Chains A and B, each alone.
Chain A
Amino acid sequence: MRHSRRQALGLGLGGLVAAALPFPASAALEDAIAVFAGGAAVGAGGITIDAPEIAENGNAVPVSVSAPGAVAIMLLGAGNPEPVIARVAFGPGAGGQSFATRVRLARTQDVVALARLADGSVIEARAAVKVTIGGCGG
Protein backbone atom coordinates (compact mmCIF):
# COMPACT_ATOMS: atom_id res chain seq x y z
CA MET A 1 0.00 0.00 0.00
CA ARG A 2 2.84 2.40 0.86
CA HIS A 3 4.37 1.83 -2.53
CA SER A 4 1.18 2.37 -4.45
CA ARG A 5 0.57 5.71 -2.71
CA ARG A 6 4.09 6.87 -3.61
CA GLN A 7 3.65 5.73 -7.19
CA ALA A 8 0.32 7.47 -7.45
CA LEU A 9 1.88 10.74 -6.28
CA GLY A 10 4.72 10.37 -8.77
CA LEU A 11 2.34 9.74 -11.63
CA GLY A 12 0.24 12.73 -10.64
CA LEU A 13 3.26 15.04 -10.61
CA GLY A 14 4.47 13.72 -13.95
CA GLY A 15 1.04 14.29 -15.43
CA LEU A 16 0.97 17.88 -14.15
CA VAL A 17 4.36 18.65 -15.71
CA ALA A 18 3.32 17.09 -19.02
CA ALA A 19 0.09 19.10 -19.04
CA ALA A 20 1.83 22.38 -18.19
CA LEU A 21 4.52 22.13 -20.88
CA PRO A 22 2.57 22.78 -24.12
CA PHE A 23 1.11 26.13 -23.05
CA PRO A 24 4.24 28.34 -23.02
CA ALA A 25 5.33 26.69 -26.27
CA SER A 26 2.12 27.59 -28.11
CA ALA A 27 2.26 31.22 -26.90
CA ALA A 28 5.83 31.41 -28.16
CA LEU A 29 4.63 29.95 -31.48
CA GLU A 30 2.00 32.66 -31.94
CA ASP A 31 4.49 35.37 -30.96
CA ALA A 32 7.03 34.10 -33.48
CA ILE A 33 4.39 33.98 -36.24
CA ALA A 34 3.19 37.52 -35.39
CA VAL A 35 6.74 38.91 -35.50
CA PHE A 36 7.44 37.20 -38.83
CA ALA A 37 4.13 38.33 -40.37
CA GLY A 38 4.73 41.92 -39.21
CA GLY A 39 1.02 42.71 -38.98
CA ALA A 40 0.05 41.09 -42.30
CA ALA A 41 -2.77 38.53 -42.26
CA VAL A 42 -1.52 34.98 -42.75
CA GLY A 43 -3.00 33.43 -45.89
CA ALA A 44 -2.82 29.97 -47.43
CA GLY A 45 -1.74 28.54 -50.79
CA GLY A 46 1.42 29.10 -52.80
CA ILE A 47 3.54 27.31 -50.25
CA THR A 48 4.16 23.61 -49.91
CA ILE A 49 5.76 21.75 -47.04
CA ASP A 50 7.04 18.23 -47.38
CA ALA A 51 7.54 16.19 -44.21
CA PRO A 52 7.04 12.51 -43.35
CA GLU A 53 3.71 11.51 -41.80
CA ILE A 54 5.51 9.29 -39.30
CA ALA A 55 9.01 10.02 -38.06
CA GLU A 56 10.56 7.13 -36.15
CA ASN A 57 13.38 9.29 -34.86
CA GLY A 58 12.51 12.84 -33.81
CA ASN A 59 16.19 13.77 -33.81
CA ALA A 60 16.44 14.13 -37.58
CA VAL A 61 13.20 14.61 -39.50
CA PRO A 62 13.68 15.68 -43.13
CA VAL A 63 11.54 18.71 -43.97
CA SER A 64 11.46 20.71 -47.17
CA VAL A 65 9.59 23.90 -47.98
CA SER A 66 8.93 25.46 -51.35
CA ALA A 67 7.38 28.91 -51.79
CA PRO A 68 7.93 30.48 -55.22
CA GLY A 69 8.39 34.24 -54.97
CA ALA A 70 9.21 34.24 -51.27
CA VAL A 71 11.85 36.55 -49.84
CA ALA A 72 11.98 34.72 -46.53
CA ILE A 73 10.78 31.46 -45.00
CA MET A 74 10.36 30.55 -41.37
CA LEU A 75 10.10 26.96 -40.17
CA LEU A 76 8.46 26.12 -36.84
CA GLY A 77 7.70 23.07 -34.75
CA ALA A 78 4.41 23.82 -32.99
CA GLY A 79 5.15 21.42 -30.11
CA ASN A 80 8.84 22.09 -29.56
CA PRO A 81 10.16 23.82 -26.42
CA GLU A 82 11.56 26.50 -28.73
CA PRO A 83 9.13 26.58 -31.67
CA VAL A 84 11.25 28.45 -34.21
CA ILE A 85 13.49 26.00 -36.10
CA ALA A 86 15.10 28.29 -38.70
CA ARG A 87 14.59 31.53 -40.59
CA VAL A 88 15.79 31.56 -44.18
CA ALA A 89 16.33 34.75 -46.18
CA PHE A 90 16.74 34.38 -49.95
CA GLY A 91 19.27 36.68 -51.60
CA PRO A 92 19.41 37.89 -55.22
CA GLY A 93 21.54 34.85 -56.14
CA ALA A 94 18.88 32.32 -55.16
CA GLY A 95 17.69 30.16 -58.05
CA GLY A 96 14.41 29.16 -56.48
CA GLN A 97 12.66 29.66 -53.19
CA SER A 98 12.96 26.18 -51.75
CA PHE A 99 14.84 24.95 -48.75
CA ALA A 100 15.36 21.53 -47.20
CA THR A 101 16.89 20.56 -43.89
CA ARG A 102 16.61 18.07 -41.02
CA VAL A 103 14.91 19.09 -37.82
CA ARG A 104 14.39 17.92 -34.25
CA LEU A 105 10.83 17.30 -33.12
CA ALA A 106 10.19 16.79 -29.41
CA ARG A 107 6.90 14.92 -29.92
CA THR A 108 4.02 14.40 -32.36
CA GLN A 109 3.09 17.85 -33.65
CA ASP A 110 2.46 20.14 -36.59
CA VAL A 111 5.42 21.48 -38.52
CA VAL A 112 4.57 24.99 -39.72
CA ALA A 113 6.16 26.84 -42.60
CA LEU A 114 5.56 30.53 -43.27
CA ALA A 115 6.75 32.50 -46.26
CA ARG A 116 6.90 36.25 -46.71
CA LEU A 117 6.44 37.28 -50.36
CA ALA A 118 8.00 40.29 -52.08
CA ASP A 119 4.76 42.29 -51.68
CA GLY A 120 4.77 41.74 -47.90
CA SER A 121 1.96 39.17 -47.78
CA VAL A 122 2.49 36.09 -45.65
CA ILE A 123 1.39 32.53 -46.43
CA GLU A 124 1.41 29.41 -44.31
CA ALA A 125 1.43 25.62 -44.69
CA ARG A 126 1.25 22.92 -42.03
CA ALA A 127 2.15 19.25 -41.95
CA ALA A 128 1.33 16.87 -39.11
CA VAL A 129 4.20 14.60 -38.13
CA LYS A 130 3.83 11.63 -35.77
CA VAL A 131 7.01 11.19 -33.76
CA THR A 132 7.83 7.79 -32.29
CA ILE A 133 10.95 8.79 -30.32
CA GLY A 134 11.20 12.47 -29.37
CA GLY A 135 14.28 14.46 -30.30
CA CYS A 136 14.94 16.60 -27.27
CA GLY A 137 16.65 14.17 -24.92
CA GLY A 138 16.71 14.93 -21.19
Chain B
Amino acid sequence: MAADAKPRVKVPKTAAAGEVVVIKTLITHKMESGQRKDEAGAVIPRSIINRFTCDFNGVNVVDVEILPSVSSNPYFEFEARVDAAGEFRFTWYDDDGSVYEDVKAITIA
Protein backbone atom coordinates (compact mmCIF):
# COMPACT_ATOMS: atom_id res chain seq x y z
CA MET B 1 0.00 0.00 0.00
CA ALA B 2 2.89 2.30 0.72
CA ALA B 3 3.63 2.81 -2.97
CA ASP B 4 0.29 4.25 -4.07
CA ALA B 5 -0.73 6.33 -1.03
CA LYS B 6 -0.64 9.83 -2.47
CA PRO B 7 -1.37 12.74 -0.11
CA ARG B 8 -3.11 15.84 -1.43
CA VAL B 9 -3.41 18.95 0.72
CA LYS B 10 -5.12 22.29 0.09
CA VAL B 11 -3.76 25.22 2.10
CA PRO B 12 -4.02 28.90 1.12
CA LYS B 13 -0.67 30.33 -0.03
CA THR B 14 -1.09 33.51 2.01
CA ALA B 15 -3.04 34.65 5.05
CA ALA B 16 -3.34 37.73 7.23
CA ALA B 17 -1.63 37.47 10.62
CA GLY B 18 -4.02 35.85 13.08
CA GLU B 19 -6.32 34.61 10.32
CA VAL B 20 -8.08 31.27 10.58
CA VAL B 21 -7.57 29.22 7.43
CA VAL B 22 -9.43 26.12 6.29
CA ILE B 23 -7.26 23.14 5.44
CA LYS B 24 -8.45 20.20 3.34
CA THR B 25 -6.50 16.97 3.11
CA LEU B 26 -7.02 13.76 1.21
CA ILE B 27 -4.84 10.69 0.83
CA THR B 28 -5.41 7.82 -1.57
CA HIS B 29 -5.74 4.66 0.48
CA LYS B 30 -8.11 1.70 0.22
CA MET B 31 -8.79 1.66 4.00
CA GLU B 32 -9.56 -2.06 4.12
CA SER B 33 -11.94 -2.26 7.08
CA GLY B 34 -11.32 -5.83 8.23
CA GLN B 35 -15.10 -6.44 7.94
CA ARG B 36 -15.19 -7.60 4.35
CA LYS B 37 -14.82 -11.20 3.13
CA ASP B 38 -13.22 -12.45 -0.07
CA GLU B 39 -14.84 -14.92 -2.49
CA ALA B 40 -13.71 -17.88 -0.37
CA GLY B 41 -15.38 -16.39 2.71
CA ALA B 42 -12.14 -15.54 4.49
CA VAL B 43 -11.98 -12.16 6.23
CA ILE B 44 -9.76 -9.67 4.41
CA PRO B 45 -7.37 -8.36 7.08
CA ARG B 46 -7.67 -4.76 8.21
CA SER B 47 -5.27 -2.33 6.55
CA ILE B 48 -6.01 1.32 7.22
CA ILE B 49 -4.40 4.63 8.07
CA ASN B 50 -4.85 4.76 11.84
CA ARG B 51 -3.61 8.25 12.69
CA PHE B 52 -3.33 11.68 11.08
CA THR B 53 -1.63 14.74 12.50
CA CYS B 54 -1.15 18.33 11.36
CA ASP B 55 1.42 20.67 12.91
CA PHE B 56 2.13 24.30 12.15
CA ASN B 57 5.70 25.39 12.96
CA GLY B 58 5.92 22.52 15.43
CA VAL B 59 2.63 23.39 17.17
CA ASN B 60 -0.05 20.74 16.93
CA VAL B 61 -3.26 21.68 15.10
CA VAL B 62 -5.14 18.37 15.08
CA ASP B 63 -4.34 14.81 16.02
CA VAL B 64 -6.87 12.31 14.68
CA GLU B 65 -7.24 8.68 15.67
CA ILE B 66 -8.81 6.91 12.71
CA LEU B 67 -10.84 3.70 12.82
CA PRO B 68 -12.12 1.52 9.97
CA SER B 69 -15.42 3.44 9.67
CA VAL B 70 -13.61 6.29 7.93
CA SER B 71 -14.11 6.04 4.15
CA SER B 72 -11.46 4.97 1.70
CA ASN B 73 -9.26 7.83 0.51
CA PRO B 74 -9.74 9.55 3.90
CA TYR B 75 -10.67 13.20 3.66
CA PHE B 76 -10.32 15.68 6.50
CA GLU B 77 -11.23 19.33 6.74
CA PHE B 78 -10.33 21.52 9.72
CA GLU B 79 -9.21 25.02 10.70
CA ALA B 80 -5.84 26.41 11.76
CA ARG B 81 -4.87 29.83 13.07
CA VAL B 82 -1.91 31.44 11.28
CA ASP B 83 -0.05 33.97 13.43
CA ALA B 84 3.17 34.00 11.42
CA ALA B 85 4.58 32.67 8.17
CA GLY B 86 5.67 29.08 8.36
CA GLU B 87 5.14 25.51 7.41
CA PHE B 88 2.28 23.07 7.84
CA ARG B 89 3.44 19.49 8.25
CA PHE B 90 0.94 16.70 7.59
CA THR B 91 1.60 13.12 8.64
CA TRP B 92 -0.40 9.95 8.02
CA TYR B 93 0.41 6.69 9.84
CA ASP B 94 -0.41 3.39 8.12
CA ASP B 95 -1.23 0.09 9.87
CA ASP B 96 1.72 -1.46 8.04
CA GLY B 97 4.14 1.00 9.67
CA SER B 98 4.49 3.31 6.66
CA VAL B 99 4.42 7.05 7.31
CA TYR B 100 3.31 9.49 4.60
CA GLU B 101 4.20 13.16 4.86
CA ASP B 102 3.42 16.40 3.11
CA VAL B 103 4.59 19.95 3.81
CA LYS B 104 2.95 23.23 2.76
CA ALA B 105 4.36 26.70 3.32
CA ILE B 106 2.20 29.76 4.02
CA THR B 107 3.22 33.41 3.97
CA ILE B 108 1.72 36.46 5.64
CA ALA B 109 0.10 38.82 3.13
By a beta-carbon cutoff of 8 Å, the part of chain A in contact with chain B is: 59-61, 64, 77, 80-96, 98-105, 135-138
Contacts and interface: CB of A to CB of B under 8 A. Distances in A.
A61 B75 CA distance: 11
Interface centre among A85, A91, A135, A137 (most CB of B within 10 A): A91
Contacts of A100: 75-78
Interface string B54-94: 11110111111111111110111111111000000000000
A87 B35 CA distance: 20
**Chain B contact residues, majority secondary structure:** strand
B20 interface: yes
Contact of A104 (B33, B57, B59): B33
Contacts, number: 112
A59 B68 CA distance: 11
**Chain A contact residues, majority secondary structure:** strand
A69 to B, nearest CB: 13
Contacts of A91: 55, 59-63
B6 interface: no
A73 B56 CA distance: 20
Interface of B: 20-21, 33, 35-37, 54-57, 59-72, 74-82
B77 A99 contact: yes
B35 A103 contact: no
25 contacts: A61-B71, A80-B69, A82-B35, A82-B69, A84-B69, A85-B67, A86-B64, A86-B66, A88-B78, A89-B60, A89-B65, A91-B60, A93-B56, A93-B80, A94-B78, A94-B81, A95-B20, A95-B80, A95-B81, A99-B62, A99-B76, A103-B71, A104-B71, A137-B36, A138-B35
A86 B55 contact: no
A99 B63 contact: no
Contacts of B64: 86-89, 99
Nearest to A92: B59
A94 B80 contact: yes
